[in-house]
Structure 1
C-alpha cells in the first residue's frame, strides 16, 4: 500500500509530495517516492497535450495535494495531473503526449489547472515527436567528446547517450544532426554482442538491419566498440571509442508497463 509520509513542501507554484510504499511481511522495507510538481501554463507545452490515465476524472477532491496523492497512489508512473479547485475534478496524467496520439484530448476549461512533475524532460532538453506519435526528450551537445566522456556527461544530467532502435528515431536524427554525432551503443566484446546504453538491451538483428549502414557494424580492425550516426551516409556505424564528435543525450520519459 502507499501511505503519505512527508506530505508537502511549498514554494511559489511548486510543491514536493512524498509517498511511502509499505512492504508486507516481517522483513519488508519501506520505499519512498518523492516528486516535485509545478503549476504550468497549458499553452507552454503546445502542441503536446496532457496524457490522461483515466477516461473520466475523479470528483470531489478537495485540494491539489489530495489530487497529487491519489494520482501517484493509484498510478505510480504518473507524472502530472489536472485539477479544478472549483469543482474538485482531478485527472491523473502519465505526462504529455502528441496531439496525433490515439485518444489525445485538448484541455478544456473544466479540466482546471495543469501540474507536471518537475524535470521529467528538464532544462536544456527538448521534447520531440517521432513519426509514430511517440515523444522523446533529447539534448544536442555541440561539443566534441569521446564516447566515454559523452556518456559520463549525459549520466550527470540523468540521461544517457541516445538510443536509435527504430527508423522513426533514425529519421529524427537525420533531421536534427548537424554532422556526425555519437550514439549510445557498445560492443560487448567478451559476449560478442552490441548493447544500448541506458537500457542494457542487446541490439537485435532487426534493429541492426533497419538503422545501420550496409555492412555495419563490422568492428573494423577489432577496435570499433562504440557508435556514431554518420551524417554523410545517413545511418549508424561503429567507430573507435576515442573518436571525438558532438553527441545527443536522451532522458527516459514515463511509460505505462505493458
Structure 2
C-alpha cells in the first residue's frame, strides 16, 4: 500500500460511500476493506477525520471531487487490488493513468505468447505513448519482449491486440526505433520491445522471447 499527496483532480472517489469522525489511517483502511472490499484504496484527511474509498484511478472517470478542500491535507493510499492473476498496477502519464502488467518470463513464439497472455485475462501490451514505453522499459530492461501488435492479417497494416486499432504515424514516430517497422527481408510481421535499443521493432514471429502482458484495471463500485 503506497501513500502520496492527493491531487484535487487526478483521482475519482466513491460517490455514495464515506465516513466522518475516523481517527486514524488503519481505521479508514478497515472501513474501506470491510464496506467496499473491491476498492482500489482510500483517501484520508486526518484534520477533518474524513475517509473516502477510491474507486477509480484515472482522470475523467467519474466520482466525487475534493471541492474546495486543500488537497495537501489529503493522503491517498492505493492498494494493488485493482489487478488480478499476478498482474501489478503501474501508473503513467501526467493524468494518473493506471494499467496492469505482468512479465511472462518463459520464451515463446508470438502466437504462443499471445495465447499464454490471453489465458491470464490479458493481451500483449499496448505501447502507444512514451509514457507507456517507459513502463515497458522498466519492466523489460535490456531483454527483448513481445508486445501486442502485428500485421499478420494484412501486410503493412499493424494492429494493436488490445483494441484492434491501427498503428498511427504519431505512434510510429514516438515509440518505434527510427525506420521501423520495416519488414526486413519481407518476413517481419510481429512487434517486440528491443532491449538493446529501448524501442519497438518488428521481427519474424517465430523467434522466441519473453512477453509483456497487460490487462485493464478492475472496474469497482460500492
**Closer/same/farther in 2, CA of residues 180 and 204 from structure 1, 3 Å limit:** same
Contact residue 149 and residue 190 of structure 2 kept, 8 A: yes
Equivalent residue for 1:251, pick from 194, 211, 215: 215
User: Between Structure 1 and Structure 2, which shows a larger proportion of strand residues?
Assistant: 1
Alpha-carbon distance between aligned partners in 1 of 2:11 and 2:218, rounded to the nearest angstrom: 11
**Closer/same/farther in 2, CA of residues 252 and 139 from structure 1, 3 Å limit:** same
What is the TM-score when the length of structure 2 is the normalising length?
Answer: 0.67
Corresponding residue for 2:138? 175
Higher relative contact order, structure no. (Cα contacts within 8 Å, ≥ 6 residues apart) = 2
Q: How many residues align?
A: 188
**Closer/same/farther in 2, CA of residues 180 and 81 from structure 1, 3 Å limit:** closer
Moved more, 135-144 or 169-178: 169-178
Say whether residues 1:125 and 2:87 are aligned partners.
yes
Contact residue 13 and residue 56 of structure 2 kept, 8 A: no
**Closer/same/farther in 2, CA of residues 47 and 93 from structure 1, 3 Å limit:** closer
Alpha-carbon distance between aligned partners in 1 of 2:132 and 2:41, rounded to the nearest angstrom: 28
User: Which string of whole-angstrom CA distances, capped at 9 and with x for unpartnered residues, describes residues 119-178 of structure 1?
Assistant: 641242221222433222111122211111111111111111111000111122222213
The alignment yields a C-alpha RMSD, in angstroms, of 4.0
Runs of 5+ unmatched residues, structure 1: 1-44, 69-77, 83-88, 109-113
Runs of 5+ unmatched residues, structure 2: 20-30, 43-49, 60-64
**Closer/same/farther in 2, CA of residues 232 and 80 from structure 1, 3 Å limit:** closer
Alpha-carbon distance between aligned partners in 2 of 1:254 and 1:202, rounded to the nearest angstrom: 25
Corresponding residue for 2:168? 204
What is the TM-score when the length of structure 1 is the normalising length?
Answer: 0.59
